[in-house]
């Protein structure tokens, strides 16, 4: 269904006061989420009011939920007519813009399949406990960027699993959640991340939109990389700089190059021999989260670091 078809235009014109009133909160009674009739109001509004990345937790969640709404709006949901979830996460972003600390989703409000035999709900509930614990023990205040990314990726995981559990239970949003929550715990605890398959350790260093300088959270991750590398002088480091799908291909190639250079320079300042570092950059190619051209996706503004 087209976002701007005749039915939607007519529906949006009827009862405007009622529609605006429905924007006062981000959730209906479960299991109903957003409202496709209010999406044309709330989605542009959250985009227009979203603060830049790098603020406190409330500001960061406003930014990231706007990004999630954009991601869903450009990911094929419009073909199924599911604009309700776009509206839902736009309203979470608007709630954050109003100064609210919005919580991560409760999976009981989503149609998550196959508790028997796979225990999908149980696994998601356990991860929510993990997430809330990390948020409450300082994640929001000390590392708001990582905390917000973990929460929004968790919400994305639920939304995507409800729509296509075969592809999405272990899909891109789940992988981003695991990466983000692990990075948050690394920053909170000062411990190395768990080994990835094949004996590699994987870290993500995120950047603000159109920037190549490190955020405080990014510096913490790079310091963790340096500590892990110092603990085992035989391992090599591989850096891959990336950018989201906004701007031109040449510009993004240069931007991803600068981001990789930044990480390599900090590693060198932290005592890591540059000869141990293999650096590359791919611009807007190979995005961790595939999006349409022009989508500002914070999870694609990254230098991926592998220690092996």
Per residue in 46-65, is it b (16+ CB within 10 Å) or e — as a string?
bbeebeebbeebbbbbbbbb
Residue 255: is its pLDDT beyond 90?
Answer: yes
Tens of pLDDT, residues 208-251? 889 999 887 788 788 888 888 887 888 889 999 999 999 898 99
Tens of pLDDT, residues 178-205? 888 888 888 887 654 444 444 457 788 9
Give the pLDDT confidence score for residue 47 in this predicted structure. Answer: 86
* 73-77 contact pairs (CB < 8 A, 24+): 73/3, 73/43, 74/291, 74/292, 74/295, 75/291, 75/292, 77/163
Residue 279, helix vs strand vs coil: strand
Name the pLDDT band for 29 (thresholds 50, 70, 90). very low
Mean pLDDT computed over every residue of the chain: 80
Residue 62 CA to residue 52 CA, distance in Å, equals: 9
Residue 51 CA to residue 62 CA, distance in Å, equals: 7
Q: Where are the domains of the chain?
A: 1-102, 103-191, 193-307
Share of the chain above pLDDT 70, in %: 84
Strand order in the sheet with 302-307: 201-206, 302-307, 237-241, 277-281
Give the pLDDT confidence score for residue 19 in this predicted structure. Answer: 38
Residue 60 CA to residue 96 CA, distance in Å, equals: 9
Name the pLDDT band for 165 (thresholds 50, 70, 90). confident
Tens of pLDDT, residues 51-103? 887 789 999 899 999 989 888 887 654 444 478 888 999 999 999 999 999 99
Q: Strand ranges (DSSP E) for the chain?
A: 201-206, 237-241, 277-281, 302-307
Residue 13: is its pLDDT beyond 50?
Answer: no
Residue 90 CA to residue 46 CA, distance in Å, equals: 6
The CATH number of domain 193-307 is 3.30.1330.60: yes
């Amino acid at each position: 269904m087209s976002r701007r078809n005749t039915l939607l235009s007519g529906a949006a014109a009827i009862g405007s006061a009622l529609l605006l009133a429905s924007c006062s909160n981000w959730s209906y009674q479960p299991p109903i989420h957003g409202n496709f009739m209010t999406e044309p109001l709330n989605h542009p509004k959250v985009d227009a009011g979203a603060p830049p990345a790098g603020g406190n937790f409330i500001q960061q969640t406003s930014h990231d939920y706007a990004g999630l709404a954009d991601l869903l709006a450009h990911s094929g949901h419009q073909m199924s007519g599911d604009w309700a979830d776009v509206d839902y996460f736009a309203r979470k972003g608007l709630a954050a813009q109003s100064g609210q600390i919005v919580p991560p989703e409760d999976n009981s409000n989503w149609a998550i399949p196959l508790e028997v035999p796979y225990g999908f709900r149980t696994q998601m509930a356990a991860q929510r406990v993990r997430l809330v614990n990390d948020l409450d023990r300082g994640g929001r205040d000390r590392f708001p960027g990582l905390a917000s990314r973990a929460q929004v990726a968790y919400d994305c995981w639920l939304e995507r699993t409800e729509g296509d559990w075969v592809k999405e239970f272990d899909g891109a949003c789940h992988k981003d959640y695991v990466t983000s929550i692990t990075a948050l715990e690394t920053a909170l605890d000062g411990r190395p991340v768990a080994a990835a398959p094949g004996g590699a350790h994987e870290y993500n260093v995120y950047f603000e939109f159109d920037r190549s300088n490190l955020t405080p959270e990014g510096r913490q991750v790079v310091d963790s990389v340096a500590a892990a590398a110092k603990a085992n002088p035989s391992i090599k480091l591989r850096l891959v700089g990336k950018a989201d799908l906004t701007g031109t291909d040449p510009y993004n190639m240069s931007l991803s190059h600068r981001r990789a250079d930044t990480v390599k320079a900090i590693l060198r300042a932290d005592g890591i021999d540059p000869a141990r570092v293999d650096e590359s950059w791919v611009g807007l190619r190979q995005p961790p989260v595939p999006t349409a051209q022009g989508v500002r996706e914070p999870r694609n503004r990254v230098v991926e670091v592998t220690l092996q």
